[in-house]
Structure formats: structure tokens, C-alpha cells
Amino acid sequence: MKRLDFDTLETLISGLDGCHHLRFITPEESWQSSERRFRTRDAYNYETQRYERIEADPNAPIAWDTEYGRWHELRASETITADSFFVVDYASGSDYSGDLVEQSNYRVILGLVESAELEENRDYITYTGGHGTFALAIRVGALVATGNEDTDGWLESILETIYGLEDYPLADESDHSEMELEAQNEAWEDYARSEFKTELSKYFHAQYFDCSASQYSIVQEMLEDTDWITDDFANSIAWEMANYANVYWVNEQGDSMYLDVEEMVSRGLEPNKHWPEIAAKQAAMERAIIREIHKQGTAYVLSGGAL
């Protein structure tokens, strides 16, 4: 990891310039800010209920455009200054690019920036765009600390995190794990549990009740639907089955999570030929599912074909 030189602008620029995941930019000013600073105009005053002349004020603070891509990227021949910003590539993405790693990095670095009490739209810019696009840019000069200006160590923490991404592109494993868990729970509630119930019904319909015997006909009818599987029962067996099948969540892009529930059911209930103790647990789980089918089947019959 690089030495945390940030007591002078020169050492800071040298350290940041060596990070390959940073892009140095000059932000574009927002049109509202440019109009406020350079255009004398008439504007309606709702208090006085009349138009008033507003003089241009070139000394007014600049407000940067926060739409993603509204910047000029510095070429290698251009000089990095205190007023240059840098975009952290490992903390940028969208619904269709990057994944939870970038989202976690963004959240972690933004949290450090806010803890350091840097000023938004002056010391840092949060860029947004279509399809959930996000990026974070930080002004180089905002990270210079001399004497006792960083007594709480937040600026050093920002630099330590940014430099660390050069060697390992994940800022905080615990934050990433938390985001993964949140996304998995949301995906399970949104679609995966429903798909799991469907695959479970199909599996047992084909394996155990695919016959014409009259005593099975009403259970066959029940298994053609998924109402016999309660949410609690699905929750209680899903992750044990996933472990037996070696099927896990996949973060494909953005914060979307995918779980191969078809493989999860078919392989999770297939007896393990190499580990008898695992096969015994699979058999016990299968018996528990069959007991649930019988229990719900009885309720189905008593209710006249409705659960």
C-alpha cells in the first residue's frame, strides 16, 4: 500500500496519480450556476408578485452539474491541480454495469467523505444518471491536510481506502456482505421463493404421484399448484437444500441477484453418492417434505379441494 502522503498538495497529487482506478476530471458548471453568475435577467418574485431585475454575480459560488458524464476528463498532458476532481472507477456503476462491489465501495467512501465534513458540490460531487447510474468525484485539494487539520483521521481514512482499492477492489467486506444479504432477501421475497415453490411442486408431482391410482388423484391435483407450500415451510428447507446442491446466489449486475432454483431442487434432493452422512440428511429432508405434502393433502381433501 502507498504511504499516506497528504500533507502537501504535491505529495498528494503524486500518490493519487499513481492509482490506476482513478480518472481526473474538471466538472462542468450547471446552467443554473452559470446563469446566476454571468447573466443579468428578470425573474418573478412571488413575495412582491412582480418581475425584478437580478444582476449577474461573477463572484457567486460555482455549482457543478451532477449529471453523470458532465465533465472534462484530463488528458495525460494536462496538469492535475488542487481544483481537479477524481472519479473512483471502483465506486461507479449502474443497473447494467458493475455490481454490489461498486455499490458498496460508493457507500463506504461517501460515508467517509461525509464524516470528514467535506462540502458537497464544492469538495465532492455525487453524480447520477439514467438506469441507476452513480459515481463519486472528490476534489484533490479537499484531501490536503497539514498540521492538526485531520485530528480525527477522516482524510487519512479516505486516502487509505482509495489507495487500498489499488491492491484489492473492495473497500469494506462487512459492508459488502450486508448489501449482499439485503439484495438476497429482497430477491427471495420478490421472485425466488415463488419459483422455488413451483420447482418443488413439479419435482414431487413427477417423482411420487405420477400415477392413476385414485387415492393419489386429489394429491396430484394439489401438487399442480404451489399453495400447499407455505412461506415458512419454504424458508425452512430452502437453504439446506441449496447447500446440498452447491447452488448459491449470484450477483450478476447492479444489485440484481440470481438463484438457480431448478438446479437447487433437482440436485438438492439427489442423494449424495460420496458422502453417506449428507445423503442421510437429504433423505430426512425429503421425508419432511413428504410429511408436509400428506398434511396439506389431508387439509386439501377436507376443504373440498382448496387450501
Residue 162 confidence (pLDDT): 96
Question: Mean pLDDT highest for which of 28-32, 50-54, 122-126?
Answer: 122-126
Question: In this structure, what C-alpha cell is assigned to residue 285?
Answer: 429432508
Tens-digit pLDDT profile for residues 185-238? 999 999 999 999 999 988 888 776 544 444 556 666 777 777 778 999 999 999
pLDDT of 269 above 70: yes
SS3 146: coil
Q: Is the dihedral of CA 32, 34, 35, 36 positive or negative?
A: positive
| Range 282-304 burial, b when 16+ CB lie within 10 A, else e | beebbeebeebbeebbeebeeee
pLDDT of 166 above 70: yes
d(CA 47, CA 44): 9
Q: Which helix (H) or strand (E) holds 180?
A: helix 173-187
Residues ≥6 apart with Cβ < 8 Å to 158: 109, 112, 113, 116, 138, 143
Question: In this structure, what C-alpha cell is assigned to residue 137?
Answer: 468525484
Ordered by start, the domain boundaries in the chain are 9-28+64-171, 175-302
Residue 290 confidence (pLDDT): 87
DSSP helix, strand, coil percent of the chain (3-state; round to 5): 50, 15, 35
Averaged pLDDT, 30-36: 89
Phi (first) and psi of residue 302, to 5 degrees: -65, -30
Residue in 63, 21, 288 with CA at minimum distance from that of residue 161: 21
SS3 177: helix
Q: What percent of the chain has pLDDT over 90?
A: 63
Phi (first) and psi of residue 304, to 5 degrees: 80, 25
Residues across the chain: 307
**What is the residue whose three cell numbers read 453418492?**
273
pTM above 0.85, yes or no: no
